[in-house]
Amino acid sequence: MYRYDEFDHALVRERVEEFSDQVARRASGALTEDEFKPLRLMNGVYLQLHAYMLRVAIPYGTVNSRQMRQLAHIARAYDKGYGHFTTRTNIQYNWPALTDLPAILSDLADVEMHAIQTSGNCIRNTTTDVFAGAADDEIEDPRPWCEIIRQWSTIHPEFSFLPRKFKIAVIGAEKDRAAIRTHDVGLQIVKGEDGGTAFRVFVGGGQGRLPHIGQEIASAVPAADLLAYLTAILRAWNLLGRRDNIHKARIKILVASVGLEAFREEVDKHYATLRHEDLRIPEKEAERIKAYFAPPPFEDLPKASAPFDRALLADPDFARFARNNVRRHRKAGYASVVVSLKPLGGVPGDITADQMDAVADLAERYAFDELRAAYEQNLVLPHVKLDDVPTLWRALREAGLATANADLATDVIACPGLDYCSLANARSIPVAQALSKRLADMDYQERLGPVRINMSGCINACGHHHVGHIGVLGVDRKGEEYYQITVGGSPDEQAALGDIVGKSLPADEVAPAIQRTLDRYLEIRAEGERFIDTVRRVGPDPFRDAIYETLDAANA
Amino acid sequence: MLQTLEGVQNGPRLSVTTPLDEVEAAAAATDVLVLEFDAFRDGRGFSLAAVLRERGYAGRLIAAGKVLPDQARHLRRSGFDAVELAPGADAAAWDRMGQAFSGSYQPAVDPAPTIWQRRRAASNDPDLQGLADRLNRETAGKDASEILKAALDPALGLRVGAISSFGAESAALLHIVAETDRDVPVVFLETGQHFLQTLSYRTQLTKALGLTDVRLVTPDANEKATLDARDDLWRTDADACCDLRKVRPLARATAGFNAVITGRKRYQAATRAQLKPFEVLDGVLRINPLADWDADDVEAWLEAHDLPRHPLVEQGYRSIGCWPCTRAVQDDEEARAGRWSGMDKVECGIHLGRRQVAA
Amino acid sequence: MKIVTANRLSDGRVIYAGVGSQPVEGIDQASVLDETTAEIVLAEVAGRPDIFVNPYLVEVQGHVPSGRDRLKERIRSAGPTVGHSVAGGVG
């Protein structure tokens, strides 16, 4: 993974000093809260319901054991002993004091981490495929490009005060495991006409109040011109995007209102007058960065592993874990292992300091010292020898991290909701917990197969409910929590927004309604169909009926 | 550094909410433009400044209105020269925040070398002297175009820029550069003391040759305010004036390059009698494709390619710098005899090594 | 009736305006005020941005939030309604 050099180190240190200066000016009254707010947000500091919240960047979700242990230390020393992984592959702390924040940021800088631009109207953490560098269908590892984008976008002079936030995701395979079409800009690595690396560019995707699926604005931008092209897009939006209405400020609204063609013309106009030579990524710099992402020293191993196969036969619990949480690897004899942060009945994405330490030890021991944060709010050990998976599994089970539900119905994505968030209208966590308890039977979950359920506590959609196979959105009805259900959303290369099936439900009706939906799928699915396939084939109606039939009967 | 100004500044004043084309139209008609931020969160001003600079606006650009000290470097790097402080603003905070960071990753309008360029320069510490010797050998007897092509060979991995005064003989070198690669960055030292004819010639020649990346490099506003607020330093200390307006800005502008193309020729002055096509100065490869040209060669080239002439040539100027320190020469004088005439000075310093300047 | 609430600048914790408009942490210590007095106290604490961040009024019956945002205000006063994955409770 990427390591800081003297320049990176200097920059994060200087950022800590700058922030300390800002905190001091806020305390002295030199900065008003209105002035301070955007500055603290650009360092990941929110003011939530109960306390400040710090969002620490995990660039493109990659972290090593030393960094993970430091995250554990921060949870213990400055917080309440736990953290929360987000759909932007960052980690949040819910309880830090403002006065401790400079020290926390300094501790982060010690391990080459920061909280720069994890919030605010600027370019946010770039996300990618959690299996980057491990997946067998990838044409190129997207992470070096994420790192280049990270550096280019860090404290950008022109793009730090944008109309609204701006999110970029990059993938290196046809299969989209990073939901690029739900991003302001989504980048897919393709082969250019000259055989070199190029980027297929999608623009104007986004969730929130007015969700849009990104549209293709360019089919193959040569890699060297990527930053020039991104600059042109951002410049066009920065100058023309709306600033009068926060809900209409994202680039998706601009693209939708002027139309893709007109927006492309505007981008091309800026592209034509840019200083291309300056923005061309120096080849040496690209090579320097790529070298950090070279594959780890894999051994040449046979495809099959005797210890792995023996454990499959010997232990049905391990077999279940292997079926659901172990993923194929590009290198024979290796696998990627999903560490679920969705214990049955637990808080999606939460992890304790002890668990962080445990998973750091395991990464160091079994996974070339590398961990990934997945946007599904799980962790992944990307490169594990099949021979080691049984031992790893036992250690994970010891730490309470071996729930065998990756991509199953209880692998629920959920935002913190009204229990923590000052923007929320309703709670998400208790609803996710109730659902998880109701669907806890692992045999039942496996019978259902992969199904993604997403929950957001408000229309800002941090839980990505629009693109959940089943989405749940909390709304406020005269001071009471209600939940609107959508069916048929999808974040991948067949990205789609879910259909709202009907009127919203009270909290305790949500889990039963979702179970009826899933049961209906089991009744009507064709051979080999996943939940989303069935929804795509038959539409939302059968599921709407399933959701409301009992309710209607009860209310009749 | 971004200059901090007290009181209301003169010049057309536009809100950053003004559409780009109107801002561009206003900029075309002025050499001082004030862009007023209605809210510090409204970042349009940064893009407006960057676009104006990239499209060639060389006048002064002043930020005004609601801006925070924490935006000092954003303003500077987007192309602003100065900020008009609101009454009661804390100038110390502006200075402090303006210097909060010692480096920036991404290229922007300001000439300071980026982290990417500095990394490259650091890692690219190849044996430049060896390279210069080799290229001198390999290009012996070759013409100027071939010398230039050898230097621009991508296999060498050099980051090459050209410097030009857009003076009496400059068209020849720039023409050869443009024929080889129109996108090579060309640095022009906008000392603020050029003849108006030089400035219009620069525009004319840039267009005629199709050069895509002519960069105007100005003295640092704060340095200038300190050292030469009244623009008359040349009267008392021409070396200091050259240092402020040429040597320091060029050092900043070329920090990202490890190879610089110049139009110097052996015949021009005694100090240049030993000039070779390739030489190393302060860790930078100097490429002098015209080293063995003389005045007749230049004249023949300009003639053959029908290139535009500097308007002052027909008035007897054969080497042209800033107006206070340049005069026309007689036919029997050296071409550069009109530079710093009457002073014990032949070079401005940009072509001398640092150690020599200090001596 | 109304109470005045905000978050404390230093640590972000929920505070209320208590006796003499002093910051207090417990909602039961908050001064319950009529409309007019509440506005006066709100203006007063707004003038102390070194302690009170984003102060506003909450409708209450007794010391219990009763307005449209009552759920949010109850959660603010009592803490999250859920624990976290392992510890099962938040201190």
Q: Which of A538-542, B240-244, B330-334, C46-50 has the lowest mean pLDDT?
A: B330-334
Residue B156 has pLDDT above 80, yes or no: no
Cβ–Cβ < 8 Å for A327, A131: yes
Q: Who wins on pLDDT, A45 or B315?
A: A45
B161-177: average pLDDT:
91
Domain residue ranges in chain C: 2-78
A529-539: average pLDDT:
97
Backbone angles phi, psi at C65, to 5 degrees: -60, 135
By the CB < 8 Å criterion, does A44 face chain C? Answer: no
Q: Which residues pair with A56 in a beta bridge?
A: A91
Residue C91 has pLDDT above 70, yes or no: no
Residue B233: predicted pLDDT: 85
CATH code for the domain in which residue A20 is found: 3.30.70
A530-554: average pLDDT:
90
Among all chains, which residue has been given the structure tokens 């980057």? A132
Q: How confident is the model at residue A552 (pLDDT cuts 50, 70, 90)?
A: low
By the CB < 8 Å criterion, does B185 face chain A? Answer: yes
Beta carbons of A284 and B120 less than 8 Å apart: yes
A-chain residue closest to C9, CA distance? A98
Same domain, A205 and A353: no
Whole-number average pLDDT of chain B: 87
Same domain, A47 and A88: yes
Chains that touch B (3 or more CB pairs under 8 A): A
Same domain, A431 and A463: yes
C71-85: average pLDDT:
88
Q: Which of A291, A326, A359 is the last residue of a domain?
A: A291
Residue A78 has pLDDT above 70, yes or no: yes
A486-503: average pLDDT:
94
For residue A262, what are the contacts with CB-CB under 8 A and spacing of at least 6?
none
Residue A549: predicted pLDDT: 83
Query: What ipTM describes this predicted complex?
Result: 0.94
Count of domains in chain A? 4
By the CB < 8 Å criterion, does A345 face chain C? Answer: no
**Shortest Cα–Cα distance, A432 to chain C (Å):** 11
Same domain, A311 and A280: no
Q: A367 lies in which domain range? A: 306-398
Q: Is residue A215 part of a domain?
A: yes
Q: Is residue A183 part of a domain?
A: yes
Which of A65, A84, A91 is closest to A359 using CA atoms? Answer: A65
pLDDT by residue (tens digit) across B61-82?
A: 999 999 999 999 999 999 999 9
Residue B307, annotated as binding a ligand: no
d(CA A328, CA B155): 40
Residue B322, annotated as binding a ligand: yes
Q: Is residue A121 part of a domain?
A: no
- Give the domains, in start order, of chain B with CATH numbers: 3-101 (3.20.20.70), 119-358 (3.40.50.620)
Residue B157 has pLDDT above 80, yes or no: no
Residue B357 has pLDDT above 60, yes or no: no
B151-171: average pLDDT:
85
Residue A321: predicted pLDDT: 98
pLDDT by residue (tens digit) across A264-303?
A: 999 999 999 887 777 888 777 888 899 999 999 999 999 9
CATH code for the domain in which residue A229 is found: 3.30.413.10
Same domain, A78 and A194: no
Chains that touch C (3 or more CB pairs under 8 A): A
Q: Is residue A337 part of a domain?
A: yes
Beta carbons of B103 and A11 less than 8 Å apart: yes
Question: What is the CA angle B264-B267-B272, rounded to 5?
Answer: 60
Beta carbons of A270 and B117 less than 8 Å apart: no
**Shortest Cα–Cα distance, C35 to chain A (Å):** 21
Residue B218: predicted pLDDT: 85
d(CA B339, CA A383): 68
Same domain, A171 and A267: yes
Same domain, A366 and A446: no
A-chain residue closest to C73, CA distance? A49
A141-155: average pLDDT:
97
Chain C residues closer than 8 Å to A418 by CB: 71-72, 75
In single-letter form, the type of residue at position B177 comes to: V
**Shortest Cα–Cα distance, B177 to chain A (Å):** 15
For residue B154, what are the contacts with CB-CB under 8 A and spacing of at least 6?
none
Chain A residues closer than 8 Å to B124 by CB: 284
Specify whether B348 is catalytic.
yes
CB contacts under 8 A, A 76-105 vs C, are: 80-82, 84, 97-99
Same domain, A346 and A470: no
Cβ–Cβ < 8 Å for A20, A393: no
CB contacts under 8 A, B 206-225 vs A, are: 213
Chain C residues closer than 8 Å to A49 by CB: 14, 72, 75-76
Chains that touch A (3 or more CB pairs under 8 A): B, C
Backbone angles phi, psi at A10, to 5 degrees: -60, -40
pLDDT by residue (tens digit) across B271-328?
A: 788 889 999 887 788 999 999 998 899 989 999 999 999 888 888 887 888 888 887 7
Residue B11, annotated as binding a ligand: no
Residue C87: predicted pLDDT: 42
Helices assigned H by DSSP within chain B: 20-28, 44-54, 72-78, 91-98, 115-123, 128-138, 144-152, 170-180, 196-209, 221-227, 233-236, 238-242, 248-253, 295-304, 354-358
Q: Is residue A297 part of a domain?
A: no
Catalytic residue chosen out of the listed positions B246, B348, B350, B351 = B348
Which of A98, A343, A346 has its CB closest to that of C11? Answer: A98
Chain C residues closer than 8 Å to A433 by CB: 82
Same domain, A424 and A282: no
Residue B358: predicted pLDDT: 28
Which of B102, B109, B183 has its CB closest to that of A14? Answer: B102
Chain C residues closer than 8 Å to A476 by CB: 68
Same domain, A286 and A323: no
A115-126: average pLDDT:
96
In single-letter form, the type of residue at position B342 comes to: G
Residue A451: predicted pLDDT: 98
Which of A52, A343, A481 has its CB closest to that of C85? Answer: A343
Same domain, A152 and A277: yes
B-chain residue closest to A249, CA distance? B42
Q: Which of A172-176, A213-217, A392-396, B316-320 has the lowest mean pLDDT?
A: B316-320
Same domain, A363 and A471: no
